[in-house]
Amino acid sequence: MEACIVKLEATKREEGKNPRQLRAMGLLPVTVYGKDLNLNVAVNTREFKLAYNKDKNAKFEISFEGKTYLTETKNVQVNYATSEIQSVEFSA
């Protein structure tokens, strides 16, 4: 079965906001790695969780500042006490 492609809109991480503050605002800290690419952005937590829980192998099309990056999930950090996703790393 082929993995589906999920579109996510990324926003710039606000200066001075730590990951805990971002999560409280409903945003998930995300890092996108690739050849000559290292983006630290945030995406909507609910949108990511719905797609990720539905298909762990889904590919994500992350849009940021007019550019689109086709990525796949490399690492999802989870707080095992609360089952909350803490951050996600994607590779482009």
Given a cut of 70, is residue 2 above it in pLDDT?
Answer: no
Tell me the per-residue pLDDT of 25-57, one tens digit each, with 9 for 90 and over.
Answer: 999 999 999 999 999 999 999 999 999 999 888
Range of the domain at 39: 5-91
d(CA 13, CA 30): 9
CATH of the domain at 50: 2.40.240.10
pLDDT for 29: 96
Does residue 1 register a pLDDT over 60? no
CA distances from 60 to 22, 77, 80 (A): 20, 17, 24
CA distance 55 to 67: 24
The tally of domains found in the chain comes to: 1
Q: What are 57's two structure tokens?
A: 């192998």
